[in-house]
Structure 1
Amino acid sequence: MNQLSTTSYPSWAAKYISLVSEEVLTEMESQIEEFPKFLNKLIEKVDYAYAPGKWTIRQLTSHILDTERILMYHLVCIARGDIQNLAGFDEDNYVDQTLSNDRSLFEMGEEFRLLRKSNLLYIKALKPAELDRIGSANHLNISAHALVYVLVGHIKHHQNIIAERYL
């Protein structure tokens, strides 16, 4: 994969992208197994929130799954040259609206594993010209290539948050 251009993403994405090495596909692949293992170590704290009004680990994992799907949808649309503005989402509302607050972390980890494996296969099949395409998501320009980094960095970001605030 080519080097990522700093002009191919908005400022909000930088905090995720900065967490990822140039070996983004290797990191993406390693997360397929590593992130579910990380979740399995948190089973005792599944309903713990580090402060009032903050998400529990279960809610945070639900957010991660939703975000994986939404960012990948954006990546697919942009890689395919879609010119419409892609909607953003209200992450707090999505977490509030989920009715799956009884799901196990093991089940959610398995879901992540399948999602990420599918996403990685799709991304590996993209040509450089498709990855270089820029589209609009939430009225901000971003490339499909940058979204690959955001997908990986989003997981790392939340693993860091869990390690710092939940453990």
Structure 2
Amino acid sequence: MELQNLRPDQIILSLQDTMTRLEKLLRQLPESAWQLSIAPGKWTVAEIVGHLYDTEEVWGGRIEKVCHEEKPDLPGYDPESYVRQRGYKQYNLSEMTELLQAYRQHREKTLALLQGDVWRRVGVHLEEGEMSVQVLTEILALHEQHHLQQIEQIWQTAQQQE
């Protein structure tokens, strides 16, 4: 994913906007749509939402670590195994609603950290090298936009097929 050199205010706005757009979109989806995917073998809407939760958990944790520690190590993680192990594909509407609430709480915690001079603080990602809070949050914001577009595309395709 190519960075766009977003300013901190643009990153915060994106992180807030994506969460709002996601919640609005998911309220419109019938429960049956949670099991749709863009193509065979690709993640379902439920798995994408689960992955977004995982990403907030992992990347939000990285951001928190960089904000509070001096040049911490930032280990990698395997998104595919998270989604598989947590079984998001089998989540029902009630479980997805709970997951979204937890996602929102993680997001609010992450946004609360993004104040003052934290943007230049760095951690060391084991695969990517030094990463600033600004880079970490921009990656998170762009990643979410990408997956939100996937969900929108899945839903549009499903509506056209009706």
Establish whether TM, by shorter chain, passes 0.5: yes
Q: TM-score, normalised by structure 1?
A: 0.76
State the match for 2:112 in structure 1: 121
Alignment of 1:151 with 2:140, yes or no, is yes
Q: How many corresponding residue pairs? A: 150
Q: CA deviation at 1:64?
A: 0.4
Q: CA deviation at 1:91?
A: 0.8
Native 8 Å contact 1:88 1:137 kept in 2: yes
Runs of 4 or more off by more than 4 Å in structure 1?
Answer: 19-22
Alignment of 1:68 with 2:56, yes or no, is yes
- Which 5+ residue runs of structure 2 have no aligned equivalent? 157-162
Q: Which residue type is aligned with residue 135 of structure 1? A: G
Alignment of 1:85 with 2:73, yes or no, is yes
Alignment of 1:42 with 2:33, yes or no, is no
Native 8 Å contact 2:51 2:82 kept in 1: yes
SS where residue 61 of structure 1 aligns?
helix
Matches within 5 A, 1:23-62: 23-43=10-30, 44-62=32-50
The root-mean-square deviation of aligned C-alpha atoms, in Å, is: 2.4
Q: TM-score, normalised by structure 2?
A: 0.78
Give aligned-pair identity as a percent: 21
- Which 5+ residue runs of structure 1 have no aligned equivalent? 1-11
Q: Which residue type is aligned with residue 147 of structure 2? A: H
Native 8 Å contact 1:39 1:106 kept in 2: no
Q: CA deviation at 1:165?
A: 4.4
Greater fraction helix:
2
Distance 1:131 1:37 in 2: 29
Distance 1:49 1:91 in 2: 17
Alignment of 1:18 with 2:9, yes or no, is no
